[in-house]
Structure 1
């Protein structure tokens, strides 16, 4: 992946997997800065995230507040001898604040009432991720989340 840090509409978050990752949640997918995960966290696919929505550029956050914006969340998993990639696409919303300093959540619903939501109306959630990708995360693989927002016209 090329260095896209100069693109105000792209944010890259690095995290790692954890033995308790199950990715069974049907309506959300989440990354957290926490270094631990209980089995109840079935939407969480990455821990020890190096950035949070609060770290995102003002331009990125503003672009996500466009109801016609498309937000692509691409999960890149490096399992050493194998790599996996999968994208979940959602949309922006005027109510997104993207100011949380602990975690970020993508949703299949239109719920926005928190500072963690990074997109709504997603075409997938944790449960929709490829099981080989999930197994690699459960084995502690490295995860890179590439968030790209395309403002509406």
Structure 2
């Protein structure tokens, strides 16, 4: 598959963004964040996995697919890659989660991620903690 498909999500940071989680990162449509949400990088997302195009979802269900998630906020950019999985559902209407493990549930958008929330650039994390707007681009090829 040589075609590159992408989904774009607009969200914002929050004062409780800590990006301390060792195995996941998450973007949620929820408009709040508690300090316990240490994997959440952005809130108030305008789209969730259930909104993604069926062609995009099908492409992500290929275990040889490379899925890349890019966060752009306030002049900072971080890209993390992982792979697809035949069990990916893309049915959750609230949250999109990237995982370093092979675990899949209805929120999972990528498995085998290179790193999780704790691996994100700290300047980007600081910008998100200041509540800045973020563009999250999820691509598959």
Same fold? TM cut 0.5: yes
Match of 2:59 among 38, 58, 63: 63
Q: Cα RMSD (Å) of the superposition? A: 1.0
What pairs up with 1:5-84 in 2 under 5 angstroms?
9-78=5-74, 83-84=75-76
Indicate conservation of the 8 Å contact 2:4/2:140, yes or no. Answer: no
- Indicate the residue corresponding to 1:109 in structure 2: 101
TM-score (norm 1): 0.89
Secondary structure at 1:93 match in 2: coil
SS at match of 1:101: coil
Structure 1 unaligned spans of 5+: 1-6
Aligned residues: 139
Q: Distance in 2 between matches of 1:91 and 1:99?
A: 18
Determine the structure 2 residue equivalent to 1:3. Answer: none
Q: Secondary structure at the match of 1:24?
A: coil
Any unmatched runs of 5+ in structure 2?
Answer: none
Q: Where has structure 1 moved over 6 Å in runs of 4 or more?
A: none
The TM-score with structure 2 as length reference comes to 0.96
